[in-house]
Amino acid sequence: MPESRPSVLIIGGLGFIGRFLVRYIHENNLASEIRIVDKQLPQLAWLAPEFEEACSSERFMQGDMSRDYTSEKVFTRENGESYDYVFNCGGDNRFSQDDEIYKQRSLQLSLTAAKEAAKRGVKCWVELSTGSVYKSEREPRKETDKLKPWVRMAKYKLEAEEELQKIEGLNLVILRLANVYGPYCSKVIGTMLCMARVYAYLEDEMKWLWTKDLRTHTVHVLDKGWEAGMGTTPIFNIVDHGDTNQGIMQTHIAKIFNIKTGFHGTIVSQFAKLNLNSAVDEENDELLQPWGQLLNEAKISRPGPINPYLEQELVRDSDLSLDGSRFETVTGFKYEVPEVTEEGLKEMIRSYERLGWWPPMHIKHKGEGTR
């Protein structure tokens, strides 16, 4: 009897999103074969124990998919058949990198691998993009709204979207993601939690720039939004129902860390806007040293990928605001984690604790007063 389950290739399968996708497909026995390819080695990827079986060595290939040779090698299977589904979770997802890094590690990776996929007759290519490709507006953006990337990474994600649509024979689906969070997250919300831990350590007030209404929409990494199928190039926004903004995050963080939180107000925020680089550098200077002290006092010698370092590109008066109704209407998908909750953020902290990354909450600053 022929194997009815599809074969799946996951590019960037050791990344934050990729590893959860690999584990979900593996644990639910959804694929006849899973192939993971990533530039980094599993030993260096900060994998938690629950990912070890899914991301095992027999499924893994190390390689740079921006290179023609690697893509050809990865797509060559022993049985001579093509993969059914390819999920591109790869690329350089760090903020504030040089243009050349994004061109090579994100744009070129997508194009090189996708051209090989089209040549091999892959049934579906799923490209993970970002909601930051839209022009920043207060109201949630639909897939047909004006595009104007407001972070450098998004500029090259959008260019990749446009170039992929030109590849003949590529059955393409594009997913534009909100801020992805969840256990072991080291970006955006993970940074926020680390910052809050430092303010709790210093017994100081944590203040945000701009206003509580600034939208920072989210989606939980455990929501399995991987269904596909609509038109020539279906494009979907992937976002929960929580309408997450700075005020919501402020409320949760104040309760979790038992600290005062607030906003700097219009005058300070406008001044910071004119001197944003200096303001961010000052904030980083004030937070990184006590974070190091916290780690030392907790005897954490291998602290993992989390830290309170603020990326300048993210400290902007720009809304990440998405309308995700098309995806739910077309696919019937329902979010299992419909909004950011206090418990959801606590689970992130518990995930850091499990791997020995997190300074216990009882450790307090021993200096004279606060800043």
Per-residue pLDDT of 182-241, as tens digits, reads 999 999 999 999 999 999 999 999 988 778 888 999 999 998 655 544 446 899 999 999
Q: What is the pLDDT of residue 206?
A: 92
Q: Is the pTM of this model over 0.85?
A: yes
Which residue ranges form the domains of the chain, and what is each CATH number? Answer: 7-177 (3.40.50.720), 188-216+244-317+340-355 (no CATH)
Spans of the chain below 50 pLDDT: 1-2, 228-231, 368-371
Q: What is the pLDDT of residue 265?
A: 64
* Burial status of residue 245 (CB atoms within 10 A of its CB: 0-12, 13-18, 19 or more): buried
Please tell me the distance from the alpha carbon of residue 243 to that of residue 224, in angstroms, as a whole number: 19
Residue written as token pair 């720039």 = 209
Residue written as token pair 């997802």 = 93
Contact 220, 188 (CB under 8 A): no
Single out the residue of 8, 175, 164 nearest to residue 85, CA to CA: 8
SS3 at position 275 = coil
How many Cα neighbours within 13 Å face the side chain of 329? 8
Q: What is the pLDDT of residue 224?
A: 66
- Tens of pLDDT, residue by residue over 231-269, are 468 999 999 999 999 999 999 999 999 999 987 765 556
Q: What is the pLDDT of residue 131?
A: 95
Please tell me the distance from the alpha carbon of residue 278 to that of residue 276, in angstroms, as a whole number: 5
